[in-house]
Amino acid sequence: MRMRSVLAGGLALVSLLLSACGGGSGSGGQAQVRLINMSAATSLDVYESSNKLISSVSASAVSGYTGIDEGSYTVNFKGAGSSTTLLSQTRSWSKDTQYTLLAYERYGAIKAVQITENQSAPSSGAASVNFYNLATDAGALDIYVTDPSASLTGAIATASSIAAGNGSGYIEIGKGTYRVRV
């Protein structure tokens, strides 16, 4: 149960961090890539082959965007200042598009998913959020975003049946104070 609470907290944090994403990149034709480091305690560097793209992002922190030419790349995640690769993935990036690499820890190993930030700007007074289920052994999850004092009796999930390793897709939520429950 404790793990589920931690993952739910991480899920909420990720959704809030992603709420301001999207829109034009102003990148002059490059892809824009950033890192959200949801690992437990490891600061991370991100490399394209041997070129450092993103440097020393602390646990629970978000990097700024960095520009990279359109293409397919081998992306290596390393502990900050370390030469040891913790995770290697192939990623494809398109010009004038923003991406977030979401790194997290699962059973002591670094994992990562890529989020394409292609949503439209939210309505005035709203935010676009995207919930991710990184609890691969928990099965599909329902997310409830409610008034802080509301009961879940009869409540309808804000995002339902989010499969492990997947996101909810962008959902608009009006400004206010909410309680997020899994």
The confidence score (pLDDT) of residue 11 equals 52
The confidence score (pLDDT) of residue 28 equals 74
7-59 tens-digit pLDDT: 444 554 455 444 444 444 455 799 999 999 999 878 999 999 889 999 999 99
137-158 tens-digit pLDDT: 899 999 999 999 999 999 999 9
In this predicted structure, the answer to whether residue 68 has a pLDDT above a threshold of 80 is yes
- Between the alpha carbon of residue 99 and those of residues 49, 66, 70, 95, the distances in Å are 18, 10, 12, 11
In this predicted structure, the answer to whether residue 79 has a pLDDT above a threshold of 60 is yes
Indicate yes or no: pTM above 0.85: no
Domain boundaries in the chain?
1-21+125-182, 24-118
The confidence score (pLDDT) of residue 8 equals 44
The CATH code of the domain at 24-118 is 2.60.40.1120
Q: How many Cα atoms are found within 13 Å in the side-chain-facing hemisphere of 109?
A: 5
